[in-house]
Amino acid sequence: MSEPQAGIFIEGAASHFFLEYQLIEGLSEQQLRSTLAKAIALPLSDEVNSVWAFGADCWQQLAPACVPSALKPFATIGSGQRLAPATQHSILLWLHGNNHSANFDAAMAISSALAAVASLCLEKIGFLYKDSRDLSGFIDGTENPKGRGQQLVALIPEGEVGAGGSFVMSQQWIHNLASFHALSQSQQEEVIGRTKPDSIELDDERMPENSHVSRSDVKINGEAQKLYRRSVPYGGVLEHGLYFLAFSCDIQRFDRILASMFGCTDDGIHDHLTDFSTPVSGSYWFAPSAAELSSIGSL
């Protein structure tokens, strides 16, 4: 049994660091491998959960025998004003836990250990907002799989290349809360497709075909394209939004849901949520199993 990185499945942390690094060009394989292995092995406080994931190019360099064939970089989707841009980076580090100070110390120590091989190019500090709500005020995660279902949805099954690992998608979204909150509660509920206080799915008569639920609840040949979402709000007064983060056993599920949200399916309908929030980054990653991660120095 290939054990996953445990931090993927630990829920409810109050403090989150999302750090995206770009590899410096011209590194020797040995330099990259040994620096990364040291950074991954740094002792962290017990209160910090860490999840490491790698872009396709970086993982290919690190572990050519362990690359799932479907792994690929994120590609821009949509057109004109309504675009999900690709900003693919090399390494994603997600630190989370209830002790913000410990997360900060871990983020500083790991970034310093990586400095010779990678530069930090995107950093978002996330936090638990009320009872797991997005900053729009809606509960985020209601339809997430529960219990054993989380692993079935998120992990590459035993027997396949990358078993115990997971495909990951990340996107920084910037919210325009003033325009969203200018809507009545009923209109907001029709943007999301659920009620605001208690996250009950709207019934068929009230559910618009461009609601977020309508566009993200995608079925292909009857099979629901389920994700395990771990998104968290980030930011302050000047800039805020959602760092969308999701895990899947099948990278194509991300493509299919994004196509449905960004008007790239036959019906051409876009997700109404994209009128109130804008993605400004987009990457696909591979989060290897715990064993593959800890053997990076010797692969």
- Residues carrying an active site annotation: 140
Task: Look up residue 194 and give its DSSP letter.
Answer: B
Based on the shown chain and the rule CB under 6 A, indicate whether residue 85 belongs to the binding site for ligand HEM: no
Contacts of residue 114, defined as CB under 8 A and 6 or more positions apart, other chains included, come to 21, 35, 36, 39, 91, 120
Angle between helices 29-41 and 100-114 (to 10 degrees): 160
| Token output for 122 | 């995107």
Question: Which residues, at least 6 apart from 25, have a Cβ–Cβ distance to it below 8 Å?
Answer: none
Which one, 89 or 194, has the nearer CB to ligand HEM?
194
For the bound state, the minimum distance from the C-beta of residue 93 to ligand HEM, rounded and expressed in Å, comes to: 21
Q: Among 8, 174, 18, 175, which Cα is nearest to 89's?
A: 18
Does residue 172 belong to the site contacting ligand HEM (CB under 6 A)?
Answer: no
User: Binding mask 87-126 vs ligand HEM (x if CB under 6 A, - otherwise)?
Assistant: ----------------------------------------
What would the x/- binding string for ligand HEM be over residues 22 to 61, using CB under 6 A?
Answer: ----------------------------------------
Instruction: Name residues contacting ligand HEM, limited to 220-239 (CB under 6 A).
Output: 227
Q: Give the shortest CB-288-to-ligand HEM separation in angstroms.
A: 22
CB atoms within 10 A of CB 60: 14
- Could you tell me the sign of the dihedral formed by the alpha carbons of 221, 247, 150, 296, in that order? positive
What residues line the site for ligand HEM (CB under 6 A)? 134, 136, 138-143, 171, 173, 192, 194, 199, 212-213, 216-217, 227, 242, 244, 254, 257-258, 273, 277
